[in-house]
Amino acid sequence: MRASLKGLLLALLCANAFGAVDHTVGPNGETPTPYVQVKLAAQDVAQLKGKDYKAAILMHTTSDFSTALIAGAKKVFDELGIKVVAVTDAEMDPKKQRTDLETVLALKPNIIISLVIDPVSGAVAFKQATEQGVKLVFISNAPQGFKAGKDYAGIVTDDLFGMGKAAAELMADSIAGKGDVAVMHHAANYYVTNQRDGAVKAVLARYPNIKVVADKGIANPNDGEVIASAILTQNPTVKAIYAPWDAIAEGVTAAIRAAGSRDVKVITMDLGAASALDMVKGGNVAGIVSDLPYDMGKTLATMGALSLINKPTPAFVTVDAIKVTSANLAAQWNKALFRQPPDAVLKALAAKK
C-alpha cells in the first residue's frame, strides 16, 4: 500500500464526483501526463553520462511492487552511468524514513526517489534534501507544502481512475453485466485508494443492470473475511465483491468458501500469489487490476535525470493500469513486475494446458 490535507480533501471530492471527472487527479489538482511522454533525448543522455552522478531510492516498504520499481529505476540509472548509492526500506514508519534520509544524505546523492509515508512530517525531513540541492522525485504524493518545479521534479503514480475503471469492467464481465454486487472501500483518507474505490463505484453506476447492494468500509486488511461474511449473510443475492487490494481479497475468498458460495466472483487490485493461484485454478477470483511498477521506476529515474540537467518535467505523471485474467496472467505478470509468476502459479498454468 501507498497528500497534504488539501490533496486528501480533493481526492475525496473526486472519488464522489467522477461523473464529472473521468481521469486521475493529482494531489493538488494536477492534470496527469502519460508516462510514455517522459523521455530522454540523445543529447540529454550525452549530457548525463560521465558526470559521476549518484542516486538513492528510499522505499516505504518491501514488496513485489517495490522490488519491480527499484529494478526499473536501476535500469535507467545504469544506462546513464548514475550510481545508485543506497536503497532503503522504511517499514512504513515515518520516523525510520527520516533516519534513512539523513543517513543517505551523508552519501551526497544528486537524485532521491521516494514514497513519502507521512506528508506532514515528511515536509520537515525532505527539506533537508532540498537545502542540499538534491533533485527529488516522488511516488504517489509529495511532502506537505512542497511545490513541483521548485522543491521537487514531479510525482509519478498509477492511473488511479483507470485502475478503478478496469476493476469495474472486470466485475461486470464476470457476471455478464447483470446482477447484485458488493463493494468494499478503504475506510481511510488515503489519496490512492480513495480515487481507485471512487472510480469503481462511478463506473459500476454506468451499468443499468448492475446494482450495488452493499458498500462497506474496511480499515484493517485483516478484517476482509469478517466483513465479506457479513455482506454475504445480509445480501445472499450478491454475485460479485470488489476488494480494494490483494490482502483483503484473500479474506474475501476465504469468506466465500466458508459460505459455500462457489459462484460469487472476486475482483481486486495488485498482483499477489494467492489470488493469482485461485484465479488460475478456476476459483472465485475472476480478475485482478495491476499497475506497472517496473515502468514507474523507469519513469521516476528519467524524471530525476532530466531535472539534473534542468530540463522541465511534468508535475504529475501517471502509469497505465492493466487487466489480469487467467488467460493472460503470465504475460501481464511479467509486464507489471518484470519477472515470471511464482512457481505454484506457473505449475497451475501448465496444468491447464
DSSP string, 113-145: EE--S-HHHHHHHHHHHHHTT-EEEEES---TT
| Whole-number Å distance between alpha carbons of 290 and 105 | 33
Residues 335 and 234 in one domain: yes
* Total residue count of the chain as it appears in this document: 353
Q: Any residues with CB less than 8 A from the CB of 299 and at least 6 apart, and which?
A: 35, 38, 72, 156, 317, 319
Residue type, 193: T
* Torsion angle (degrees, nearest 10) of CA 50, 54, 60, 66: 30
pTM value > 0.75: yes
Residues 205 and 334 in one domain: yes
For 96, half-sphere exposure in the C-beta direction (CA atoms, 13 angstrom radius) is: 11
Whether residues 170 and 284 fall in one domain: yes
199 and 275, same structural domain?
yes
218 part of a folded domain? yes
Confidence (pLDDT) at 25: 84
C-beta separation of 197 from 15 below 8 A: yes
Residue 15 located in a structural domain: no
Q: Which domain holds residue 116?
A: 32-157+293-319
The conformational region for residue 144 under phi > 0 = left, psi -120 to 50 = alpha, else beta, is beta
- How high is the pLDDT of residue 29? 84
Nearby residues of 87 by Cβ (< 8 Å), 6 or more positions away: 56, 57, 59, 70
Say if 6 falls within a structural domain.
Answer: no
Same domain, 214 and 343: yes
| Parts of the chain with a pLDDT under 50 | 1-20
Closest CA to 319 of 73, 77, 5: 73
CATH number of the domain within which 142 lies: 3.40.50.2300
Say whether both 259 and 113 belong to one domain: no
- Determine the pLDDT at residue 2: 44
* Rounded CA separation 41/58 (Å): 27
Query: Tell me, what amino acid is at 4?
Result: S
Q: What amino acid occupies position 154?
A: G
Same domain, 199 and 279: yes
CA-CA distance, 138 to 300, in Å (whole number)? 8
**Rg value, the chain, Cα:** 21
Q: In this structure, are 194 and 328 located in the same domain?
A: yes
